[in-house]
Amino acid sequence: MVGCVPNLSEGRDSRAIERIAGEVREAGCRVLDVHRDPDHHRSVLTIVGERANVVRGILSMVETAVQEIDLRRHRGVHPRIGAVDVIPFVPIAATPFAECVDLAREVGAQIAGRLEIPVFLYEHAALRPECRNLADVRRGGSAGVAERLRARGGKADFGPDRLHPTAGAIAVGARRFLVAYNVNLATDDVSVARTIAATIREANGGLPGVKALGLSLPSRALTQVSMNLTDVERTRVVDAFDWVAEEATRHGVEVLESEIVGLAPRVALRGATTDRLQLTRDLADVELETLIEAG
């Protein structure tokens, strides 16, 4: 069994999102969760299935997403490089990690060949050291990617040396299961969220395996510390929440709520309760293993 957590640059049109997710279901995969955010203008699908079904489903999903999403009209607070922004493959249960690496490279090549979209391989699927870190691939957004494609030696791993006119580019990778976790603050001052995000990042001496951004949520007049927890053995969701809550108190700001984007493995939720984290969904609805076992 293989997992895939594609991120789509569409978080507002429920019809389009359902049509895209429906392609994956038609291929025989299970869509465990669909998380959409109108301010991020982004949706995250959590998919599991047998390898052949996942390949077929992801390819159909990308083809439909290209029909439904025009990046030229996209306005959202989350960084992005494509209509389908990232496609990470993750091992589930006893699946060898090497299989996810092979799968990412296979799917990346097929996407580029079918749709003429430049594909960059990242993390464990990367073929070049400069593409291993997703943040480096996505640096500068689609404009930054376009500039690097024009530059000498800035070619994609697969596909053309120019962005697709409406779908941009896609990063396809293989990684361990990470947790995308957001904490919303009761303030519209984005500088507070950005300051807290800077302190919690591992790169700045914060928590291990944490990447973070401070974002504005204009539709709700709130701000958000948006995090990826990439090493949940060392940094659990409760650790991230406690850090943000303590920093928010220092700035005189209240934590309003927190949310897990998509699903989280059981190990990441040790010590957590729905109330303690002020979660927008019950823990039982976000625990990966529980939802797999229920199916």
- Report the phi/psi class of residue 221: left, alpha or beta, with left for phi > 0 and alpha for psi in -120 to 50: left
How does residue 94 score in pLDDT terms, banded at 50, 70 and 90? confident
For Cα atoms 73, 15, 29, give the angle at the middle one, nearest 5 degrees: 110
How does residue 276 score in pLDDT terms, banded at 50, 70 and 90? very high
Q: Do 156 and 192 have their domain in common?
A: no
The yes-or-no verdict on residue 1 having pLDDT over 90 is: no
Final residue belonging to a domain, choices 158, 174, 190 = 174
Asked whether the beta carbons of 119 and 158 are under 8 A apart, the reply is: yes
Q: Do 242 and 102 have their domain in common?
A: no
Asked whether the beta carbons of 29 and 61 are under 8 A apart, the reply is: no
Sheet containing 179-185: order of strands? 210-217, 222-229, 179-185, 255-261
Question: Is 78 marked active-site?
Answer: yes
Instruction: Give the CATH number, domain containing residue 283.
Output: 3.30.70.670
Task: Indicate the pTM of the whole model.
Answer: 0.93
pLDDT tens digits along 182-241? 999 999 999 999 999 999 999 999 999 999 999 999 999 999 999 999 999 999 999 999
Count structural domains, the chain. Answer: 2
**35, 78, 124, 164: the active-site residue:** 78
Instruction: Give the CATH number, domain containing residue 83.
Output: 3.30.990.10
Q: Which domain, by its residues, includes 200?
A: 179-294
Q: Are strands 30-37 and 42-49 parallel, antiparallel or unpaired?
A: antiparallel
Q: Do 25 and 93 have their domain in common?
A: yes
